[in-house]
Amino acid sequence: MTFYEMLPLLLRGLGVTLLIVLLALPISGLVGFLAGITRLYAGWFLRSVVVVYIEFFRGTSVLIQLYWIYFVLPFLGVSLSAVSAGVLAIGLNIGAYVAEVVRGALLTVPQGQSDAAVALNFSAWQRLRYILLPQALANMLPSLGNLSIELLKATSLVSLITVADLTYQAKALADLTLQVGLIFGTVLLIYFFLAQLLAALFRALEKRVGRGLKRGGLQGG
221 domain-assigned: no
Dist CA 190 CA 215 (whole Å): 38
Residue 209, pLDDT score = 78
Task: State which of 63-67, 113-117, 130-134 shows the largest mean pLDDT.
Answer: 63-67
Higher confidence at residue 134 or residue 113?
134
Query: For the chain, what is the mean pLDDT?
Result: 89
Question: Domain holding 170: CATH number?
Answer: 1.10.3720.10
166 domain-assigned: yes
Averaged pLDDT, 127-135: 82
Dist CA 35 CA 33 (whole Å): 5
* CB contact at 8 A, 83 and 21: no
91 domain-assigned: yes
209 domain-assigned: yes
220 domain-assigned: no
Averaged pLDDT, 7-28: 94
Residue 113, pLDDT score = 76
Residue 80, pLDDT score = 93
Residue 214 binned pLDDT confidence (cut-offs 50, 70, 90) = low
168 domain-assigned: yes
Domain span holding position 135: 3-215
Measured from the Cβ of residue 209, the count of other Cβ atoms closer than 10 Å reads: 18
Q: If you write DSSP's letter for every residue of 19-76 in order, what string do you get?
A: HHHHHHHHHHHHHHHHHHHHHHHS-HHHHHHHHHHHHHHHHS-HHHHHHIIIIIGGGG
Kindly give, in sequence order, each residue whose CB lies less than 8 Å from that of residue 166, ignoring residues fewer than 6 positions away: 10, 13, 14, 16, 17, 156, 187, 190, 191
Residue 207 binned pLDDT confidence (cut-offs 50, 70, 90) = confident
* pTM, to two decimals: 0.89
Rounded to the nearest 5 percent, the helix, strand and coil shares of the chain are 85, 0, 15
* CB contact at 8 A, 99 and 50: yes
Q: If you write DSSP's letter for every residue of 179-221 in order, what string do you get?
A: -HHHHHHHHHHHHHHHHHHHHHHHHHHHHHHHHHHHHTT-S--
Query: How many angstroms separate the most distant Cα atoms in the chain?
Result: 71
Q: Lowest-confidence range among 2-6, 34-38, 53-57? A: 2-6
Q: How many domains does the chain have?
A: 1
